[in-house]
Amino acid sequence: MSTGSSGNPAGRPAERAYKRYKLEEALALFHQTHARMGLEIVPGSAIGHTYLAQHQELGTIRLLVLGRSSEWYTYRLNTYADNIGALVCATHDSCLPIPVFALDTPGSYYQPLATRYHPLSKIPARFFRTERGHKMLLGALMCRLPEAEQVLSGFPRSTRYHMELEVRQLLLRKRGRPIAGATASAGSQPTRAT
């Protein structure tokens, strides 16, 4: 396999490799590697793309599998996913209020409100012009991280206004069609270890 000038196989830029993460790929990889992440799936607990799992630190949690963590906001899960205790995704490219297991960084998980790269203030401004960087900053703003507000204040006024408008639009979105297993019925909430 040849590597191009960018250091990636076949000379593809990093942004193109980032865009390849899909739900089907994440599901297949999750089924192969969930034990390496410290997750024990409860047999017969799958509902759509959600699974009930045991984790040593988090206890019994309902997991949702997505291609990228930024899809949490794309699918409006911030408006109704009260039953989801953690997210499993191919890559963590956002900031979420729940733990995130990224399949491209096995063996550990991201704590709630954690971004893949931190601190945000030390990341070069050009990174936030990429799709991954934009989604990471947008997620951090959705979670109201003070550090994200600080980064945003350093942008030109028009960029700042566009980002603030996008956050407002995401916050005002109505609940969409629920993903199976993402909403809790009465008394079905799993307990978390404290």
CA end-to-end distance (rounded Å), the chain: 48
Q: Are 69 and 92 in contact (CB under 8 A)?
A: yes
Q: How confident is the model at residue 12 (pLDDT cuts 50, 70, 90)?
A: very low
pTM over 0.85: no
What pLDDT band is residue 178 in, cutting at 50, 70 and 90?
low
Q: 47-56, 94-103, 171-180, 185-194: which range is least confident on average?
A: 185-194
Both tokens assigned to 144: 């109201």
Judged against a pLDDT cut of 70, whether residue 3 lies above it is answered with no
Torsion over CA: 64, 86, 63, 65 (sign):
positive
Which pLDDT belongs to residue 17?
Answer: 56
pLDDT at 175: 74
Instruction: Provide the residue ranges of all domains of the chain, joining segments of one domain with +.
Output: 17-172
Are 176 and 187 a contacting pair, CB within 8 Å?
A: no
**Mean local confidence (pLDDT), 104-121:** 88
Average pLDDT over residues 97-126: 89
In whole angstroms, what is the distance from residue 145 CA to residue 123 CA?
Answer: 15
Q: In 3D, which of 170, 162, 161, 121 has the Cα closest to residue 143?
A: 170
- At residue 144, the pLDDT reads 94
pLDDT surpassing 80 at residue 60: yes
Give the SS3 label for residue 12. Answer: coil
Mean pLDDT score, 141-150: 94
39-41 sheet: strands from edge to edge: 39-41, 50-55, 59-68, 86-91, 100-102
Distances in Å between the Cα of 87 and the Cα atoms of 31, 96, 104, 126, 164 are 14, 9, 13, 28, 25
Instruction: Read off the pLDDT of each residue in 12-23 and give the average, rounded to a whole number.
Output: 58
DSSP 183: S
Tell me: pLDDT of 14 over 50. Answer: no
Residue 166 pLDDT more than 90? yes
Tokens of 114: 């954690």
The reported pLDDT for the residue numbered 23 is 84
